[in-house]
Amino acid sequence: MPKAATAAPAKKDEEFSPIITATLQASMIAGISNVLAQAISAYKADTPLVIDWVPVFQFFLFGIISTPPNFLWQELLESSFPSHHLAPTPEAIASASASDEKSLDREATLGTLVEPALNKCNTFIKWALDQTLGAAVNTLLFSMFMHGTQAAMSHRAGSSFGTAPEQSFWFLLEGLKKGNAIQYHSVNWNWVWEESKAEFVSLLMASWKFWPFVSIVNFAVLKTVAARSLAGNLAGIAWGVYMSLFASGQ
């Protein structure tokens, strides 16, 4: 007897969720931005490029930590103030004006009675909230994280690897293996807070020269949070280079 055909195993959904995809994209782009910043610094100083993997790791880690709350923030903005609403198509308006029932029925069958239309009021509200509340929180969190993490890894100078870029990978490897690469318990958080406050206004003003334009394109043109996150990440390459240079004191 021939064997009964067995049902094919259900195909597992191997795709990551949008928030995980966005986090992976952002963390990789943050690391790449830091490498580009180091390349720019080496070019300006006319010195060979030797990548210091410690700041690359710090920016990569910031991307992992900061992206999920930002993704949820964008979802909250979109659910509270949708960028698009359904509006009658020009064809439907023309048919209704002419009292052409047949055309209206045909358009209803074809699904062309309505189409997404940009909600300008909601788009402005989202843009304003993102560039005030969102920008302020992100700026402060970046400073707190970067100063805190740099201080938590400052023991590198006293390690057997020192601060030479050539030894940075081995410092990270040993520290991650032993679990002591980042020592937040040794950080003076009062100092971190004061440093973050001191640079808050200058960083926020710098962000307003760049991000408002990216934000308005995101909200007005792109329709999904995932697409906006990707566009923001790509724009973040340029911003990440600037922030990397800023974090390195240049």
CA dihedral 135, 197, 154, 33 (to 10 degrees): 30
Mean pLDDT across the chain: 85
pLDDT band of 100, cuts 50, 70, 90? low
Q: What is the pLDDT of residue 7?
A: 47
Residue 156, helix vs strand vs coil? helix
Tell me how far apart the alpha carbons of residues 33 and 35 are, in angstroms, rounded to a whole number.
5
Tell me how far apart the alpha carbons of residues 73 and 86 are, in angstroms, rounded to a whole number.
24
Cβ(123)–Cβ(220) below 8 Å: yes
Q: Is 64 exposed, middle or buried (0-12, 13-18, 19+ CB in 10 A)?
A: middle
Cβ(77)–Cβ(132) below 8 Å: no
At 92, list the tokens: 């439907």
| Residue 116: strand pairing partners | 86
State the sign of the Cα–Cα–Cα–Cα dihedral 93, 98, 104, 110.
Answer: negative
pLDDT per position as a tens digit, 42-81: 999 999 999 999 999 999 999 999 999 999 998 999 999 9
The position carrying tokens 């929180």 is 137
The residue length of the chain stands at: 250
Domain boundaries, the chain: 18-43+51-83+120-247, 85-118
H runs (alpha helix) in 46-153: 53-80, 90-97, 101-110, 120-129, 135-152
Residue 86: in which H helix or E strand, if any? strand 84-88
pLDDT per position as a tens digit, 135-166: 999 999 999 999 999 999 999 999 989 999 99
The position carrying tokens 């600037």 is 242
Cβ(125)–Cβ(137) below 8 Å: no
* pLDDT more than 90, % of the chain: 57
Q: What is the pLDDT of residue 182?
A: 96
Tell me how far apart the alpha carbons of residues 220 and 214 are, in angstroms, rounded to a whole number.
10
pLDDT per position as a tens digit, 103-142: 656 666 666 665 677 888 999 999 999 999 999 999 999 9
Whether 205 shows a pLDDT value over 80: the answer reads yes
Q: Is 169 exposed, middle or buried (0-12, 13-18, 19+ CB in 10 A)?
A: middle
Report the candidate in 152, 128, 118 with the shortest Cα–Cα distance to residue 215.
Answer: 128
Distances (CA, A) of 106 to 77, 94, 102, 109, 111: 36, 13, 6, 5, 8
CA dihedral 41, 34, 170, 48 (to 10 degrees): -20
Range 8-15 average pLDDT: 50
